[in-house]
Chains A and B, each alone.
Chain A
Amino acid sequence: MEIIATRPESLTQTPFTYCPGCLHGVAHRLIAEAIDEHGLINKMAGVAPVGCSVFAYKFFNMDMAEAAHGRAPAVATGIKRARPDMHVFTYQGDGDLAAIGTAEIVHAANRGEHISVFFVNNAIYGMTGGQMAPTTLPDMKTTTSPYGRNTDDIGFPIRVCELLATLIAPYYIERVSLLSPADILKAKKAVNKAIQYNKEGRGFTFVEFISTCPTNWGMDPIKSRDWAKENMLPFFKTGCYRDKGKGVE
């Protein structure tokens, strides 16, 4: 019997703790497949965040560190500097990376730290029950913006790829979406490129995934993807913001 699809070796057998319809599992799989495909499973270390993906350290089948909220890029820096022979990635959500960890991501990117950062943006805090994120859209209702995000009061969502693309050092920055099978295939290419550049020691690589939160958005998975296509993609434009390997500056 020919095996045509199997669990990536870079994922453990631990069952995911994610809600039905959540796209974290897809993002995990893309990263794990890329690590497998580049033969890095035995030389990779990952850093998990605080948030829904807090247990990512149990899901990736390699040495993992669980970081304090927002500090994953600093922890990854410490690992990479202590073990330059290893490859290091972080996996972070929007509250973790774009609110409490803004300083850490900006400065790790600015140092051109040789790590890959995978950033899942679903415009909400999932783990704590649906509070406003730094990427929550204008007028979007959350448990801490019950009347809708008031941009006069709390400002606009942060576009992290565009922000990081103002820095000189980052090697690769791309925003992709996980909202359709075609988008997932594109996302796979971006993840593969980030891991490939990481393997080659090119520098700082960053992939943002536009994702959903059916549970806290109060929608079924299909509807949440349609909502994200209609509302998130116009604000968070997918595309490559930096690829020094391809001359995209």
Chain B
Amino acid sequence: MAKILMKGNEAVAEAAIRSGCRLYFAYPITPQSELIEYMARMMPKVDGTFIQAESEIAAINMVYGAAGCGKRVMTSSSSPGISLKMEGISYIAGAELPCVIINVQRGGPGLGDIQPAQGDYFQATKGGGHGDYRLIVLAPSSVQEFADMAADAFDLADKYRNPVMILADGMLGQMMEPVEFRPAKSDEEVAEMWKQHKSWCINPNEDGDKKHHHEINSLEIDPLVLEKHVNNLSKKYAEIKKNEIRYEKYELSDDNEILCVAWGTASRVVKSAINELKKEGKSIGLVRPINVWPFPYDEIAKAIGPKVKKIYVFELNTGQMVDDVKIAAAGKVPVEFWGKVGGVVFTPAEIKEKLEAALKE
């Protein structure tokens, strides 16, 4: 299939539909509005459901209901709206329902601004909602990857019965890049998916089974029962940690003097700086976590080459993933951080300058 030039917001929406998503509930917010608008245009054409909800809270609770029926369902928003969804996300995680949530991050805190930022890393990977749960969090760095992740996210959500977040940003949402879509599920495949009655979900009692009673629920009033439930969730998260580490190695070698760690949009800028320095004979490597939860702790530790004197973390925030990188480095080498905030994106020249200074230390 030929490549198409598309905005990230539209590409991920198209990819979601191709993955069999036929239910989408959301509320408008910049910089993800093209996503909701694309869904408004396209869902009726595939006999899907599009509802512009009265709030982010209503949208995520519609997702809860539809996910409780075992159907592929998605919502999307940007940072302030994602905060509103956090109640529902906690319930969805607690009730172990599969769904996909897209966060096209913007500057914060509060209303912040509408430019790209990475300030929601903690919220996405460490909780955000109440209680002891985890999201699987995928962090794209290109429009192509953003689109590919829609399909991956639905597969992961179904595999683990867990909410999956795609943690993009305003840059990836707004930017146009060529995209090659994976083959779309055929109408027959989607119809087949739609017909599947999962044993745990809300569905009609077609054979009149007297004991047919499925509960979509996160309430366990007996502490010993809740304890068991949370421990079971924890076992599932351990399984996810074992299976779903994804990261990119870029220019890693035994000659690396500095190891960079960056994710999403920030990693693209860091790559440009690394390329420039390579021309000058400097060897700098990069690990880019593709899934930011589960986080590639061991893989970062292994990437610390014999000559690496420092790990440099660059983010579009005041330092969030850097905490995980410090855990990964476990004191073996110093970990330094530099970032830009407020929706201001650093340039390759700025990163190059920081790396040059570090090389001279």
- B216:A64 contact, CB within 8 angstroms: yes
Chain A residues with Cβ below 8 Å from B214 are: 63-64
Which residue of the partner chain, among A63, A74, A85, contacts B53 with CB atoms under 8 Å? Answer: A74
Which residue of the partner chain, among B57, B62, B87, B202, contacts A63 with CB atoms under 8 Å? Answer: B202
Taken together as a complex, chains A and B put the C-alpha atoms of A42 and B208 apart, in Å, by 6
- A57:B61 contact, CB within 8 angstroms: no
**Chain B: how many interface residues by the 8 Å CB criterion?**
40
- B204:A78 contact, CB within 8 angstroms: no
Chain A residues with Cβ below 8 Å from B213 are: 12, 61-64
* A41 on the B face (CB < 8 A): yes
Chain A residues with Cβ below 8 Å from B136 are: none
* A76 on the B face (CB < 8 A): yes
Chain A residues with Cβ below 8 Å from B67 are: 78
- A58:B215 contact, CB within 8 angstroms: yes
In the complex, the number of residue pairs spanning A and B with C-beta atoms less than 8 Å apart equals 129
- Output the least CB separation between A56 and chain B (Å): 11
* In the complex, chain B residues 50-107 whose Cβ is within 8 Å of any chain A Cβ: 51, 53-55, 57-59, 61-69, 71, 73, 87-88, 91, 95
- B61:A68 contact, CB within 8 angstroms: yes
- B91:A68 contact, CB within 8 angstroms: yes
- A43:B204 contact, CB within 8 angstroms: yes
Chain A residues with Cβ below 8 Å from B55 are: 103
* In the complex, chain B residues 298-327 whose Cβ is within 8 Å of any chain A Cβ: none
Say yes or no: A82-B53 contact (C-beta < 8 A), given A42-B212, A65-B65, A66-B215.
Answer: no
- Output the least CB separation between B301 and chain A (Å): 40
Which residue of the partner chain, among A12, A57, A82, A85, contacts B66 with CB atoms under 8 Å? Answer: A82
Chain A residues with Cβ below 8 Å from B204 are: 42-43, 83, 85-86
- B88:A78 contact, CB within 8 angstroms: no
Say yes or no: A107-B73 contact (C-beta < 8 A), given A62-B213, A75-B65, A86-B204.
Answer: no
* B123 on the A face (CB < 8 A): no
* B168 on the A face (CB < 8 A): no
Say yes or no: A66-B217 contact (C-beta < 8 A), given A83-B202, A104-B58, A107-B58.
Answer: yes
- Output the least CB separation between B61 and chain A (Å): 4
Chain B residues with Cβ below 8 Å from A66 are: 95, 215-219
Taken together as a complex, chains A and B put the C-alpha atoms of A143 and B354 apart, in Å, by 60
Chain A residues with Cβ below 8 Å from B35 are: none
Taken together as a complex, chains A and B put the C-alpha atoms of A79 and B51 apart, in Å, by 13
Binding site of A, secondary structure by majority: helix, strand, loop or mixed? mixed
- B64:A82 contact, CB within 8 angstroms: no
- B202:A75 contact, CB within 8 angstroms: no
* A242 on the B face (CB < 8 A): no
Taken together as a complex, chains A and B put the C-alpha atoms of A43 and B49 apart, in Å, by 21
Which residue of the partner chain, among B23, B25, B57, B73, contacts A71 with CB atoms under 8 Å? Answer: B57
Chain A residues with Cβ below 8 Å from B88 are: 68, 71
Taken together as a complex, chains A and B put the C-alpha atoms of A141 and B201 apart, in Å, by 43
* A173 on the B face (CB < 8 A): no
Say yes or no: A77-B65 contact (C-beta < 8 A), given A66-B216, A71-B57, A71-B88.
Answer: yes
* A160 on the B face (CB < 8 A): no
- B202:A45 contact, CB within 8 angstroms: yes
Taken together as a complex, chains A and B put the C-alpha atoms of A190 and B88 apart, in Å, by 32
Chain A interface extent, by class: 35 or more
Taken together as a complex, chains A and B put the C-alpha atoms of A12 and B49 apart, in Å, by 33
Most chain B beta carbons < 10 A, residue from A65, A71, A75? A65
- A77:B202 contact, CB within 8 angstroms: no
Taken together as a complex, chains A and B put the C-alpha atoms of A47 and B57 apart, in Å, by 17
Taken together as a complex, chains A and B put the C-alpha atoms of A41 and B215 apart, in Å, by 15
- A82:B217 contact, CB within 8 angstroms: no
* B243 on the A face (CB < 8 A): no
Which residue of the partner chain, among B51, B62, B215, B219, contacts A75 with CB atoms under 8 Å? Answer: B62
- Output the least CB separation between B40 and chain A (Å): 15
* A54 on the B face (CB < 8 A): yes
* In the complex, chain A residues 187-223 whose Cβ is within 8 Å of any chain B Cβ: none
Chain B residues with Cβ below 8 Å from A67 are: 61, 64
- A82:B73 contact, CB within 8 angstroms: yes
* B188 on the A face (CB < 8 A): no
- A76:B202 contact, CB within 8 angstroms: no
- A79:B66 contact, CB within 8 angstroms: yes
Q: Which residue of A lies closest to B62 (CB)?
A: A78
Say yes or no: A75-B217 contact (C-beta < 8 A), given A65-B68, A82-B71, A83-B69.
Answer: no
* A38 on the B face (CB < 8 A): no
* B196 on the A face (CB < 8 A): no
- B49:A63 contact, CB within 8 angstroms: no
Q: Which residue of A lies closest to B69 (CB)?
A: A82
Chain A residues with Cβ below 8 Å from B65 are: 47, 65, 74-82
- Output the least CB separation between A198 and chain B (Å): 15
The 5 closest A-B pairs by CB, nearest first: A78-B65, A74-B61, A107-B54, A42-B205, A78-B62
For this complex, 23 residue pairs linking A to B, each with C-beta atoms less than 8 Å apart, are A42-B212, A54-B219, A57-B215, A65-B64, A65-B202, A66-B215, A66-B217, A68-B64, A68-B87, A71-B58, A74-B59, A75-B61, A75-B62, A75-B65, A78-B61, A78-B69, A79-B68, A83-B69, A86-B203, A104-B54, A104-B57, A104-B61, A107-B54
Binding site for A on B (CB under 8 A): 23, 25, 49, 51, 53-55, 57-59, 61-69, 71, 73, 87-88, 91, 95, 201-206, 208, 212-219
What would 15 more interface pairs be, CB under 8 Å, given A74-B58, A81-B65, A107-B54? A12-B213, A63-B214, A65-B215, A67-B61, A67-B64, A68-B64, A74-B57, A77-B51, A77-B65, A78-B63, A82-B49, A82-B69, A83-B204, A104-B61, A106-B54
